[in-house]
Amino acid sequence: MSRTTARPSPPLAPGTKPGPGYEVLAHLARTGWLDIYDAWSEERDCRCVVKVVRPDRHHEEQLRERLLREGHWLRTFTHPHLVRAYETFETPEPLVVLESLTGETVAHLIHRLPRRPAATDIAVLGVHLCSAIHYLHGQGLLHLDLKPSNVVVDCRHAKVLDLSVARAPGGAPPGIGTHCYLAPEQARGGRLTAAADVWGVGVTLYEVASGDVPFHSGDTMDEGEAMDGTGDPDGRDDWYPQLEEPAPPIGSRRRLPHGLAAAIDSCLRPDPAARPTVPELAAALDATLPLQRRQVSPSTDG
């Protein structure tokens, strides 16, 4: 169903109750299909995050189902490097309640820090991402949208957000995920495997290390809304530079220890079968760390 052309309704005002036991404190963000709120939980006596479908898109059943599916997964899953969901509501409108994370997204840190993070912090961040992805794969899901804006780091601890485009391995339409972060097989469509998420870890670490993505879309899509294969609300084209050329080696953007650079580059091989498995990647990243730093979370201070 196409998006309505009606003028979007304003976000809910502070004090509004979006669901039983929750009160809006502030509007945090509006995406192409979601409103995200800072809210107060009366039962838990704490802040939380509430995600709802935007009022102008309530009529789109696939978006309602997409939100509730993500909420169900995040309530069911338990992992130290995945955000938690407290509960979901189906009526009067779909609503997901998530834990409120302190800290910052990695995307924000990339632009805020005066210098690039240390190699050890990059490696440990990669180990944390591998841990979360390994768990998801064990639950029968691919994340398919790993990127710096979907990772929060706080108190030397990383958590992965957003399962809105996650799906089981297998055939998929082209373009699932975010344009300049897609593995080549995601861009072209077809069979998706765990190797697509290995690419996601690699492209995230590449941007953290260098301050930029290896591929650009040629416009403003770099931090665009993730696509789930059910439609193109932003009218994007189907040109993907990652289908035309390999990623430039990370060493062309920044000098890193050989083992870390090799691990990042191995994630971005065009052929999925040539990329390491998640356990192999985690081991390669962990091997680059000094013994006393292994199993320690990444710092947010660069």
Strand partners, 96: 51, 88
Strands (E) in the chain, as ranges, are 22-30, 34-41, 46-53, 85-89, 95-99, 104-105, 151-154, 157-160, 170-172, 190-192
Q: What is the pLDDT of residue 59?
A: 85
Helices (H), the chain: 61-76, 106-112, 119-138, 184-188, 194-210, 258-267, 278-287
Average pLDDT over residues 86-113: 91
Which pLDDT band holds residue 113 (cuts at 50, 70, 90)? confident
Average pLDDT over residues 14-29: 93
- Return all residues near 275 (Cβ < 8 A) that are at least 6 apart: 195, 198, 199, 202, 266, 267, 268, 269
User: C-alpha angle with apex 111: 106 to 117, nearest 5 degrees?
Assistant: 65
**How do residues 238-260 score in pLDDT, each as one tens digit?**
788 999 999 999 999 999 999 99
CB 56: neighbour CB atoms within 10 A? 15
**How do residues 153-166 score in pLDDT, each as one tens digit?**
987 799 999 999 99
Element (H, E) at 149: none
Please say if the pLDDT value at position 111 is more than 50.
yes
Q: Give per-residue burial for 61-99: e unless 16+ CB within 10 Å, then b.
A: eebbebbbbbbebbbebebebbbebbbbbeeeebbbbbb
Q: State how far the Cα of 235 lies from the Cα of 179, in Å rounded to an integer.
A: 12
Is it true that the peptide bond before 92 is cis, omega within 30 degrees of 0?
yes
**How do residues 73-99 score in pLDDT, each as one tens digit?**
999 999 999 999 999 998 888 999 999
Q: What is the pLDDT of residue 225?
A: 64
Nearest CA-CA partner of 41 in 52, 51, 50: 50
Q: How many residues does the chain have?
A: 302
Average pLDDT over residues 204-218: 90
Beta strand 95-99 pairing with 151-154: unpaired
Residue intervals of the chain classified under CATH 1.10.510.10 are: 104-293
Burial of 152 (0-12, 13-18, 19+ CB in 10 A): buried
pTM of the predicted model, to two decimals?
0.87
The topology (CATH level 3) of 104-293 is: Transferase(Phosphotransferase); domain 1 (1.10.510)
Strand partners, 159: 152
Q: What is the pLDDT of residue 2?
A: 47
Residue intervals of the chain classified under CATH 3.30.200.20 are: 22-99
Q: CATH code for 22-99?
A: 3.30.200.20
Residue with the larger pLDDT of the pair 91 and 18:
18
Task: Name the percent of the chain lying above pLDDT 70.
Answer: 88
Please say if the pLDDT value at position 209 is more than 60.
yes
Question: Would you state the structure tokens that stand for residue 12, as one six-digit string?
Answer: 């809910």
Average pLDDT over residues 136-164: 94
Please say if the pLDDT value at position 220 is more than 60.
no
Straight-line distance from the first to the last Cα atom of the chain, in angstroms, rounded to the nearest whole number = 44
Q: For residue 34, give Cα distances in angstroms to 28, 84, 123, 225.
A: 11, 18, 32, 10
Give the range among 21-25, 105-109, 229-233, 246-250 with minimum mean pLDDT. Answer: 229-233
Q: What is the pLDDT of residue 186?
A: 96
CB 191 within 8 A of CB 185: yes
3-state secondary structure of 24: strand
**How do residues 168-191 score in pLDDT, each as one tens digit?**
999 999 999 999 999 999 999 999
Please say if the pLDDT value at position 302 is more than 60.
no
Please say if the pLDDT value at position 265 is more than 90.
yes
**How do residues 30-44 score in pLDDT, each as one tens digit?**
888 899 999 999 999
Q: What is the pLDDT of residue 55?
A: 87
Beta strand 151-154 pairing with 157-160: antiparallel
User: For all residues of the chain together, what is the average pLDDT?
Assistant: 88
Average pLDDT over residues 46-69: 91
